[in-house]
Amino acid sequence: MKPRILVVDDEESIREFLDIMLRKEGYEVLCAEDGQKALEILKKKSVDMVISDLQMPNMTGIELLRHVKDDYPELLFMMITAFGSTETAVEAMKLGAYDYLTKPFKIDEVRINIFNALRSKNLEAENRSLRKELNTEYSFQNLVGNSDAMYSVFEMIRRVSQAPTNILVTGESGTGKEMVAKAIHYNGPLKDKPFVTINCGAIPEALMESEMFGHKKGSFTGAIADKAGLFEAADGGTLFLDEVGELVSTIQVKLLRAIQERVVRRVGSTEDTKVDVRIIAATNRNLEEMVSEGSFRQDLFYRLNVINIRLPALRERTDDILLLAKHFLNKYNERLGKSISGISIEAMDMLKKYHYPGNVRELENIIERTVALEGGATILPESLPPFVNTPSGRKLASSHEIEITEDGIDLDKIMGQIEKELLVKAIHASGGTKKKAAKLLNITFRSMRYRVEKYNLGSISDDEIDEDSV
């Protein structure tokens, strides 16, 4: 939209001059011959800037400025003064005017002053928007839930966010561990300091040491310059170690040293660099079992697990599904420019019965997809992805729901059916990637491939696939 400027001057020639000049510059222009008319226009139309003469009958520019700043405090105001009236112009700026223009006008000066004023306003608006987005994105508003399990999480976040203590966030994939880490950081005293994320499962082992601790020029092939690691980048703030259970033992030793001694040593260097970093680690694996097995250092586990926050799986807080679904509906209505009014009772019943192996992330994906494809005013059962209402998508029956008759049951067949259902759900939750699905099920990739072939799911590729191919 074109910026709209209101010109206020009792001299018709000045109004006409500014009107013509500003329209040529691409602005929309409104004109008023006195302050009272200007206030009437402001009541009816929104404008981006007021340019007003200082000396006018009935109401001076200073009086108009006072009215504008009382009623429209964010509105830009520029004063027009005669040559030699700078003292009054300075007074106007003290009252909130952005700048002043001196008659007779220099066209380039007028053009530049107006452009700079509007650019400044836009930058301030963007900054306010970013601050608001930051406060919303990482505040408790985005951690949705009213179940007892989530209230315990909220209370823990409030308490630990105020102390720079190392924290371990545990829970299944998709439960929102990174969101919790950001909520802790941005609601505490470190909120203005860096928040740096390392995905320990995504960085190749050969590069992990360099990424985490940095390197010196020439320390290895491709090290063409000195590089600071992410520990140094997070100095004074928070370092989030996502999927910390994936770290190999050699990196675990160096991570332990960095945490204990608060120093890092770049690859190829002989000097230590001091760092002051709060560690928040997250994992969907059982680190205590890994410690018992010898695949995760016990001393590192104790350093990370000073405070533990466990996030419940969505199936453990089914009361939150309705609240979350509505939250995501509002989110994607706004993001995708839709106006879907709600979710039908039948569709909501289907959502409540689904098992959600991918937890909250999977529910969000389902709602985003549904909103994107929905053409009506309400989400209906047929609007949801087909797998939500298939037997493999519904909650698994617990053992006490399986009747053992006099003829007995086929245990192998029942267990096979359960195993196949879990495989299909894990593949859906991982977006069709078998490697990610194997991780969700805590089995090896080789075991995953064996089971896929066993249940005739072999048409699914090892990498990304289409949902409809599952």
Q: What is the pLDDT of residues 166-202, one digit of tens each?
A: 999 999 988 989 999 998 998 889 888 999 999 998 8
Tell me how many degrees the CA angle 427-429-432 measures, rounded to the nearest 5: 40
What is the biggest distance separating any 2 CA atoms in the chain, rounded to whole angstroms?
107
pLDDT of residue 146: 77
CA distances to 201, 223, 275, 302 from 292, rounded to whole Å, are 21, 38, 31, 13
Say if CB 108 and CB 89 are below 8 A apart. Answer: no
Say if CB 129 and CB 242 are below 8 A apart. Answer: no
pLDDT of residue 458: 54
Is residue 420 classed exposed, middle or buried when 0-12, 13-18 and 19+ CB atoms within 10 A define those classes?
Answer: middle
Q: Mind listing the pLDDT tens digit for each residue in 197-245?
A: 999 988 888 889 988 998 888 888 777 888 888 999 999 999 999 999 9
Q: Mind listing the pLDDT tens digit for each residue in 48-84?
A: 999 999 889 889 999 999 999 899 888 999 998 876 5
Q: Predicted confidence band at 255 (pLDDT cuts at 50, 70, 90)?
A: very high
Residue 253 has pLDDT above 50, yes or no: yes
pTM assigned to the model? 0.57
What is the H or E stretch that residue 191 is in? none
What is the H or E stretch that residue 346 is in? helix 345-353
Q: Quick one: what percent of the chain has pLDDT higher than 70?
A: 88
Q: Predicted confidence band at 101 (pLDDT cuts at 50, 70, 90)?
A: confident
And the tokens for 136? 């919303």
- Nearest alpha carbon to residue 384 among 307, 321, 448, 432: 321
Comparison of pLDDT for 164 and 284, the residue scoring more: 284
pLDDT of residue 405: 63
Which amino acid, one-letter code, is at 409?
I
Q: Mind listing the pLDDT tens digit for each residue in 1-40?
A: 689 999 999 999 999 999 999 999 899 999 999 999 999 9
CA distances to 39, 183, 212, 227 from 231, rounded to whole Å, are 56, 20, 6, 12
Residue 140: strand pairing partners:
none
Buried b (16+ CB within 10 A) or exposed e, 44-59: eeebbbbbbbbebeeb
Q: How far apart are CA 52 and CA 248, in angstroms?
A: 69
Residue 49: strand pairing partners:
5, 76
Q: Predicted confidence band at 459 (pLDDT cuts at 50, 70, 90)?
A: very low
pLDDT of residue 457: 72
What is the H or E stretch that residue 134 is in? helix 107-137
CB neighbours of 36 closer than 8 A, spacing ≥ 6? 58, 59
Domains and CATH numbers, the chain: 4-134 (3.40.50.2300), 146-312 (3.40.50.300), 314-395 (1.10.8.60), 396-470 (1.10.10.60)
Q: What DSSP character marks residue 217?
A: T
pLDDT of residue 460: 47
CA distances to 200, 204, 415 from 248, rounded to whole Å, are 9, 11, 34
Q: Predicted confidence band at 399 (pLDDT cuts at 50, 70, 90)?
A: very low
Helix (H, G, I), strand (E, B) or coil at 93: helix
And the tokens for 3? 């910026």
Q: Predicted confidence band at 138 (pLDDT cuts at 50, 70, 90)?
A: very low
DSSP string for 38-52:
HHHHHHHS--SEEEE
Q: Mind listing the pLDDT tens digit for each residue in 266-279?
A: 999 888 999 999 99
Q: Predicted confidence band at 438 (pLDDT cuts at 50, 70, 90)?
A: confident
Q: How far apart are CA 14 and CA 17, in angstroms?
A: 5
Give the sheet arrangement for strand 76-82, strand by strand. 28-32, 4-8, 49-53, 76-82, 99-103
Which of 87-96, 126-135, 286-295 has the highest average model confidence (pLDDT)? 286-295
Say if CB 111 and CB 22 are below 8 A apart. Answer: no
* Cα Rg, the chain, nearest whole Å: 31
Residue with tokens 């006072």: 66
pLDDT of residue 158: 86
pLDDT of residue 464: 37
